[in-house]
Amino acid sequence: MTTQQAPAIQVHGLEKSYKELHVLRGVDFEVARGSIFALLGSNGAGKTTAVKILSTLLKPDAGTARVNGFDVATQAANVRESISLTGQFAAVDEILSGRENLVLVARLRHLKNPGRIADELLERFSLTDAGGRKAATYSGGMRRRLDIAMSLIGDPPIIFLDEPTTGLDPQARIEVWQAVRELADRGTTVLLTTQYLDEAEQLADRIAILHEGRIIVNGTLDELKQLLPPAKVEYVEKQPTLEDVFLTLVGTKA
């Protein structure tokens, strides 16, 4: 009974306050199916609060939100069937191995053959060799990959990624970007929050800027660029960025 034609996410007039602090002051946006939507904002702009409301972890004070056609307030169980949340901190069980983490989530999603699902995801995220090791021994990028792999179990049509690359080194960031692009290629709707402008620029089909609890602009990258005066042609010597230098020196595969 999911409404396939409706947008994957519809948010209208969303408000949320913590005591005196008005975190969201009327947020509206829609996310089309199969697209990558970036919620861009500085720290404290309300990105995480919005994601928590959409993933049924918080209740809004006002406004409505529909995810996969289901109302987050009244049909929370259906929403949870439709989504996966990858929170701000890689939420993996450090004491379990990578494979055990995946098996655990597959069991909690009541799927058959949890072991096979785990092995396939380890393979897909290049974690097969590390699969038997405790997640506590993983690097930041590996943890994030495992985290995202855990989110994919059960093929939820919508995935929330809350600041997926915060605290990662440049190589790990590129690995995560690659994983997000693959997700979108498979038709998954991705809503990601980020404070990095280049991340939104690299990944998103549409970008919304959340500022002081409101969406101040919402559009494609080109539309956003048109908000400023037209480009001038200037000749500037192209210097490699420090990131280019770093990645060349350490020889990344991406």
Question: What is the closest distance, in whole angstroms, from the C-beta atom of residue 163 to another protein in the complex?
Answer: 12
110 vs 112, beta carbon nearer another protein: 110
The stretch among 26-34, 78-86, 200-208, 229-237 that binds another protein (CB under 8 A) is 78-86
Question: What is the closest distance, in whole angstroms, from the C-beta atom of residue 154 to another protein in the complex?
Answer: 8
Total residues binding another protein (CB under 8 A): 30
Question: What is the closest distance, in whole angstroms, from the C-beta atom of residue 30 to another protein in the complex?
Answer: 21
Separation of first and last alpha carbons in the chain: 40
Name 202's Cβ contacts closer than 8 Å, sequence gap at least 6. 177
Name 198's Cβ contacts closer than 8 Å, sequence gap at least 6. none
**Token pair of 136, please?**
């506590």
Q: Give the x-and-dash track for 26-65 against another protein (CB under 8 A).
A: --------------------------x--xxxxx------
Among 36, 50, 53, 150, binds another protein (CB under 8 A): 150
List binders of another protein among 87-146 (CB under 8 A). Answer: 87-96, 100, 104-105, 107-110
89 vs 220, beta carbon nearer another protein: 89
Question: What is the closest distance, in whole angstroms, from the C-beta atom of residue 97 to another protein in the complex?
Answer: 10
Sign of the four-CA dihedral 153, 154, 155, 161:
negative
Question: What is the closest distance, in whole angstroms, from the C-beta atom of residue 38 to another protein in the complex?
Answer: 20
- Rule CB under 8 A: is residue 81 a binding residue for another protein? yes
Long-range (24+ apart) CB contacts under 8 A made by 77-84 are 79/54, 79/55, 80/55, 80/56, 81/156, 82/2, 82/156, 82/157, 82/158, 83/54, 83/55, 83/156, 83/158, 83/159, 83/160, 84/150, 84/151, 84/152, 84/153, 84/154, 84/156, 84/158, 84/159, 84/160
Pairing, β 158-162 against β 83-86? parallel
- Rule CB under 8 A: is residue 85 a binding residue for another protein? yes
Residues in the site for another protein, rule: CB under 8 A?
52, 55-59, 77, 80-81, 83-85, 87-96, 100, 104-105, 107-110, 150
